[in-house]
């Protein structure tokens, strides 16, 4: 109970710092101050845009859920800890509210940093020395994805693999939709669903 109180007490500060950092990067990088226009603006008919957003969103969200389900099955039969059981869920209303805000802020932060900022930054820096080529782009994508996955090592090896697969799917979704908000919404819904299931089951 004491550990849970300490965790809940840290939520407001972590939410503020995470959200503030992500917002600063969003304003200075995503809005074009650093890189110019982040996404190519293509005018499409409404139904074409709706189909692009909805189809990629559903495929991405389904892939995330499928990966997690398969890894949980592996964890169940192999005895490997998936890490989700170690998450401390608050009991109070304020704690739950802070937890919710933290999940939203963390998803936004990760999409801005790992799906948008780092791949572009790595490519921008390395292309000046090695030139622009497909292998360099693939290396930059992989490096950003690896850093994102390493941030989930606290969930164990299965958490690392899950982050690797889901991170790749979210990055691909961002590229295909040319939008930061679509993968952010998917990421948030996926996290909320995962935590809700873990809270009720475990």
Q: What pTM did the predictor assign?
A: 0.80
Cα–Cα–Cα angle for 183, 188, 193, rounded to 5 degrees = 125
List Cα–Cα distances, 89 to 8, 30, 136, in angstroms.
Answer: 9, 33, 41
Q: What is the pLDDT of residue 7?
A: 41
- For 172-193, how does the pLDDT look when each residue is reduced to its tens digit (9 = 90+)? 999 998 888 899 999 999 998 8
Is the pLDDT reported for residue 105 higher than 80?
yes
User: Which of residues 137 and 85 earns the better pLDDT score?
Assistant: 137
Is the pLDDT reported for residue 9 higher than 50?
no
Sequence ranges of the domains in the chain: 2-24+57-201
103 contacts: CB under 8 Å, gap ≥ 6:
188, 191, 192, 195
Distance CA(163)–CA(193), nearest Å, equals: 15
């Amino acid at each position: 109970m004491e550990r849970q109180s300490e965790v809940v007490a840290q939520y407001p500060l972590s939410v503020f710092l995470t959200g503030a950092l992500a917002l600063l990067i969003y304003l200075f990088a995503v809005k074009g101050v650093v890189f110019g226009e982040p996404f190519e603006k293509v005018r499409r008919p409404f139904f074409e845009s709706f189909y692009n957003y909805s189809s990629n969103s559903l495929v991405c969200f389904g892939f995330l859920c499928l990966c997690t389900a398969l890894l949980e099955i592996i964890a169940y039969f192999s005895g490997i800890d998936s890490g989700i059981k170690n998450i401390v869920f608050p009991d109070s209303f304020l704690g739950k509210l802070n937890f919710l805000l933290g999940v939203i802020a963390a998803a936004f932060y990760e999409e801005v940093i790992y799906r948008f900022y780092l791949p572009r930054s790595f490519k921008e820096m390395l292309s000046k020395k090695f030139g622009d080529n497909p292998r360099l782009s693939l290396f930059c994508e992989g490096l950003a994805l690896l850093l994102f996955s390493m941030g989930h090592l606290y969930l164990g090896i299965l958490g690392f693999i899950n982050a690797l697969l889901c991170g790749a799917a979210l990055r691909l979704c961002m590229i295909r939709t040319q939008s930061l908000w679509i993968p952010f919404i998917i990421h948030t819904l996926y996290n909320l669903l995962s935590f809700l299931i873990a809270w009720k089951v475990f």
